Every structure is written in C-alpha cells, then in structure tokens.
Structure 1
Amino acid sequence: MTQQTQSVRPERNGLAEGGAVFAGVLMLVNGILHIFQGISAIAADDVYARINAYVYKINLTGWGWILLVAGVIVVATGAGVLMGAAWARVVGIVITSLGLILQFLFLPYAPIWSLILIAIDFFIIWALATWHPEGRAAL
C-alpha cells in the first residue's frame, strides 16, 4: 500500500504575495502623499476648496494635522509590511481602513483625489487580508 502524505505547508498564492509587496509600497507612497496633503492643508488654508455646509466640517488646519499624523503612521506600517513584520499586516489593515474613512470624510475638499486614494486603500486592504506569510496563521 502506498501512503500519501499531505504537506502542512500552506498553499502559496502568488497574486496575494505580490499584492502584499505592492500594498507595502502603496502604503509608503500613500503615507507620503498624506503627509504632503496634511502639510499643504496646515500651511495654506486656501489650497483646498472652502466648504460652507458640510456635516463633518473640520477646519482645514485640523484636517491637515489628522492627515499628517495618519501619513506618518501609514509610512511606518508600510515599511513594516515590506520588512515582513508580523504586526504590520494587522496594523496595516486597521490603519488603511481608517485612512479610507478619512478620505471619505475629506471628499468635499478634494473629490477626485479622495476617490483615487479610496480605491488604493481598498486594494491595500484586500492584499493584506489575503496574504498569509509562510508559517503564519490567518487572521
């Protein structure tokens, strides 16, 4: 009788692995863009359109600080994803989800740019959620 042994090694998904590396790079770039967006909102309130009637109205200086801090955290997490840090995958999903919400709230100030960043955030969340580093369990 022939006995077949099954490997305990998880199946590798090349698309998810490549997507995770790409997600790490996108997080670095996205974080740097958040930093620049925050700096421009802090430095000059006239860079973005003025919104008079908006439910989630925060002055642009406040948005600038929020985006600046979020950008620094996203850059650090993106570097962690690229280095394969165990914490970076979960933190990346959480911080990118928060970044997606921030961009939704920032939508009236820069609609096209916010939609682009929302789409990028969706991809990053998907890539990090489907990527399972070798030897690590799923979330």
Structure 2
Amino acid sequence: MAQSAPTPGTSRRTDVGSNGGGGWAAGGTMFAGVLLVVDGFLSVVKGIAGIASDDVYARVNNYVFKFDVSAWGWIHLILGVILLFVGWGILQGAGWARGAGVGLASLSIITNFVWLPYQPVWAIVSIAIDVFVIWALCTDRSKPAV
C-alpha cells in the first residue's frame, strides 16, 4: 500500500510532540524534577554530615576557597532544602519551578565545583546530576502549568 505525500504544512513525523523535543524532553523534565529532589536530599545529607562532625570530610591545606567544614555543611544544607522544594515544584508542574530549577542547578554546580577537594566523588556526582537537570529543563518547550 502506497503512502500519500504529506500536504503542505503537515509532516510525516509523528514522534515529535508540541514541545519540539518529543517525549525525550518532556520525560526528561519529569526526570529532572526527580533528580533535583535526589540532589537536594544528597545536599542535605552532605550538610548534616559537615555540621555534625568537623572531621567527616578531608582537611584541605592551601586551598583558595577554604571554608570551615561546618560552613560548608550549612551551605549544602540550605541549598539542599531549596533544591528539594524546587524539585517538588517541577514534579507538580509549576511554571516558576522550571526557571528556578535551572538557576539553582547552576548554583549547585558552582558550589560543588568549589567543594570538589573535600569530597570529589560526591561533588562530581552532584555536578553530573545538575548538568542533566539544566539540559532537561532547557530543552522542554512544552507550556508549563501556571
């Protein structure tokens, strides 16, 4: 059976949705919300560990961005709680959460990059999560719920 040619203004592709990126971007946005919640939880755990005991993380000598481990703990705890809140907003489909998610994921990348010498594995995992979150939130062109 022969297929007819598409009429002007139509396309044969059926895998691309109204968001321009298809299911990948829309599913990626939902996954980005889950990852922000996970990243927020990891940051809260990092923060509690840093606040609870000063000897949990490695001592770093002669580092330009040297803070007290308790200060890093508070930074991660506060950032983690905010990431949890924004991740929950993305999962609920809130329009404000998408832009806030990109901004906070960027801030989290910077924070984890500066924190890299203290716990390299945790920092790299968090940076990778945040990069995916930014990609997913920036590529989804569907209209968010307001």
Same fold (TM over 0.5): yes
For residues 144 and 53 of structure 2, what CA distance do their matches in structure 1 show? 48
> Corresponding residue for 2:128?
119
Q: Could you list the runs of 5+ residues in structure 1 that have no partner in the other structure?
A: none
Q: Which runs of 4+ in 1 moved over 3 A?
A: 3-6, 9-12
| Candidates 32, 36, 50, aligned match of 1:27 | 36
Number of residue pairs aligned between Structure 1 and Structure 2 = 132
Alignment pair present for 1:56 and 2:65: yes
* CA apart distance, 1:134: 3.2
Q: Please tell me the root mean square deviation across aligned C-alpha atoms, in Å.
A: 1.8
For residues 69 and 61 of structure 1, what CA distance do their matches in structure 2 show? 12
Percent of residue pairs bearing the same amino acid type: 47
The answer to whether the 8 A contact 2:87-2:101 is kept is: yes
Distance 1:23 1:98, change over 3 A: same
Alignment pair present for 1:71 and 2:97: no
Give the TM-score normalised by structure 2. Answer: 0.84
For residues 124 and 143 of structure 2, what CA distance do their matches in structure 1 show? 33
